[in-house]
Amino acid sequence: MIILGLDPGLVRTGYGVIETGTRGEEPRLVEAGVVEPGARGSLEGRLARLFDGVRDALIAAAPEVMVVEELYTVYRNPQTAILMGHARGVCYLAAGQAGIPVGHLGHSAVKRALVGHGTAKKEQVGKMVAALLHLRAVPEPNDVSDALALALAYANVRQHEERLRSIDDVLTDHGYARGERRREGARRGGGPQL
């Protein structure tokens, strides 16, 4: 599976493309970079440049999914949230026009998937990105590292979901739906539990 992680911003948007195998192979870096609409100029001009750059990255990478971090903000910075919303909307539009589905993860989910806890520092996440992709250094700028972290975390979550589906298939083959065997054991006053 080819996954494009995207860390949207109006000044600079990082992207990172990884490829994951279907049989548990290690992820492989395909491409990474930045789209820089710039800090100056009209909002519509910057959004147009962001759209063009993201569209070009999507066309070049042809990912099966694009992953974007969920929007969050502190109430002190509502203007930042609004601008990020504009940038995210343009990124979603580019994916929609290319027919590419968009996944999303919260920043703490990314940290948990890569480092094991949702309060990990940005440096820890960057080092894990470098380790998982066998890179000599943490990718720079941070926007690129963050985009790759999104792609890697999404791959991790998808792999976990696939394992759960496999377990469901085995349970179904043996006449149980997930949770059914537990309920059956409880009705009998004990018994095997999964």
pLDDT digit string, tens, across residues 58-106: 999 999 999 998 877 666 778 888 888 899 999 999 999 999 999 999 8
Residues 112, 118: contact at Cβ < 8 Å? Answer: yes
Q: What percent of the chain has pLDDT over 90?
A: 50
Kindly report the average pLDDT of the chain as a whole number: 84
Q: How large is the average pLDDT for residues 26-42?
A: 92
Catalytic residue among 25, 143, 168, 184: 143
Give whichever of 17-21, 95-99, 172-176 has the largest mean pLDDT. 95-99
The closest alpha carbon to 69, from 20, 122, 27, belongs to 122
pLDDT at 191 over 60: no
Residues 6, 67: contact at Cβ < 8 Å? Answer: yes
Element (H, E) at 50: helix 43-61
Show the domains of the chain with their CATH numbers: 2-158 (3.30.420.10)
Active site includes 69? yes
- Beta strand 65-69 with 102-105: parallel, antiparallel or unpaired? parallel
pLDDT digit string, tens, across residues 95-118: 999 999 999 998 888 888 888 887
pLDDT digit string, tens, across residues 125-147: 899 999 999 999 999 999 999 99
pLDDT at 16 over 90: yes
Catalytic residue among 7, 19, 52, 161: 7
Active site includes 143? yes
Residues 110, 148: contact at Cβ < 8 Å? Answer: no
Amino acid identity at 186 = A
Task: Provide the greatest CA pair distance for the chain.
Answer: 71
Q: Please give the Cα distance from 19 to 26 (Å, whole number).
A: 9
Catalytic residue among 26, 69, 123, 173: 69
